[in-house]
Structure 1
Amino acid sequence: MSVDPDKLQPPSRPELIDFHGVSMTHYFTDNWETVQNFQARPDDILIATYPKAGTTWVSYILDLLYFGQTMPERQTSIPIYERVPFLELFAPPLFSGTDLAEGLSTSPRLIKTHFPVQFVPKSFWEQNCRMVYVARNAKDNMVSYFHFDRMNGVEPDPGDWSNYFQKFMDGKLVFGPWYDHVSGWWKKKQTYSKLHYMFFEDLVEDTGREIDKLCSFLGLSPSAEEKKQITGEVQFDNMKKNDMANYSTIGVMDFKVSPFMRKGKVGDWKNHFTMAQSEQFDEDYRKKMRDPTLQFRTEI
């Protein structure tokens, strides 16, 4: 099922709804039963993140690791959102994540989700699928999500920065509170051994090292040459220029407002937070992040 980008113009921005205790919009809940009944296969790999935490980056790395050598034509002809379908996205008649995932002919199938851990369809656990979770520090994640919501028509209107700042702290963004999301997946890692938990900041700091860890988790052993090539291709500036990776072929996103791939840096929050906001946020963060074992870096 290919997506005609010109037709993918949503009529109006959706309203936020409370869905099983999590803020969502109808684009991610309308297909709920089909998503929950999705039949995972044992070799499926689920890529999970809070929005704007490095999803496309890790999707692209995995796609290159598995298919870069054997199916190189994929890289230049199929956009990443078709190679790695977004399971719960449902914008008929143009887009159904479950249909795209079921239509994948690759093995393994790479599938992405922004679901908090409790929403993941049960077949992924039953089939003991491998999962890769990417977490990003809250301040940078908030900034990236803000710019994304400004340019993406399937997201609720973000309002101005100070308004958004408050919404983020209140957990009133699509896919719920950042705190619950990163902590829920972190906790799951303690009981589910097939979950690899990564940090965006580590990927920025040393992409090659993090790819090595991923390969070790996935049981892959690319040649040194192959690894070097992948590490080069997935550098932010290269992905930003790559039309099959940068989402420029999707009509719902207004690149005149902000690019889908904006900066990919650690510490850009300093250009957005006032001193007072930073202090207010840090205090709120200490109350909400109760797990001392889950540590983030806001600069590297």
Structure 2
Amino acid sequence: MHSFRDKVTQKLSHLFPNSSSSSPQGSPYSKEDKPLSSYLSYLIPSINFDGSKTSEHQHDPKPIQSASSRYSYEDFDYQDVPSENYSDCIPMSNSLDSLKDDSINEDHTSRRSSSSSEVFEEANDQQIPNTSKKFALNLADDSTFISPELYEFFESCLPNIVKGRQWVLLYSTLKHGVSLRTLIRKSAEISGPGLLIVGDRQGAVFGGLLDCPLKPTAKRKYQGTHQTFVFTTVYGEPRLFRPTGANRYYYMCLSDLLALGGGGNYALCLDDDLLTGTSGPCDTFGSSCLAHSPEFELRNVELWGFTHASPFQS
């Protein structure tokens, strides 16, 4: 019984009689000495005579496949692709993000430059000589002791009720003579805190805050409140001493003596002639000697009060 291949071979022999002319009958070789099986392997897998596919009966070598059917997703290994090949293929979202980053960086750069310019301006302001601050001194009269630095120090130490007000010179030994009685009388020209400023011959400036008008007492009796303080520049920079709470010996005013503090020594004591004074360690303010020496000669004595700059202000 002939096989399917033999039947087809016979049919092809009748259809292509020339293919077997040079070979014995029934030989499977063609004119070019090619076996007819090579034609069969090409024709039979593709189509038979009625146009239907015959792949289900075919066991010969696999048919030719298209490029799309030869490759599958498993054949690709994306890790083998060099990353630099995609350097020019930046996604739009990434490019937008990079533009945003650039704009943010530029914004930060501009902010840094602006902040740097502000720091530069502040540094320039700090380099301005302190003498330029004298125009900001709110003093109604000239002072022997008050410098721009000392004025700024006082403004930070004074009670809030008098901050920003105009300073008025109530008493000065250079203008009113050397007399404690005159100082007490001139202190009545204004009510409220009064700042006593004195200095020794060695250049130290010191004093304290009192209540005006001063009210002399017949006996040694202390007055004042916890707002009373003493200060000195004997250490170089101005230094403030407020009440420690050890006692309430704020200040004492007699007809022949004016003293601040107590408990061991007066922080500051002035005689009635306002020519000499004493200073020592004081428990009330926790201060040591305010002058260069415990006993000193006074260079000048000033008493300042505070008032509104304009009469229309209350």
Higher relative contact order (CA closer than 8 Å, sequence separation 6+) = 1
Which structure has the larger Rg over C-alpha atoms? Answer: 2
TM-score class, shorter-chain normalisation, is: under 0.3
Task: Give TM-score scaled by structure 1 length.
Answer: 0.21
Q: Judging by fraction of residues, say which structure has more strand.
A: 2
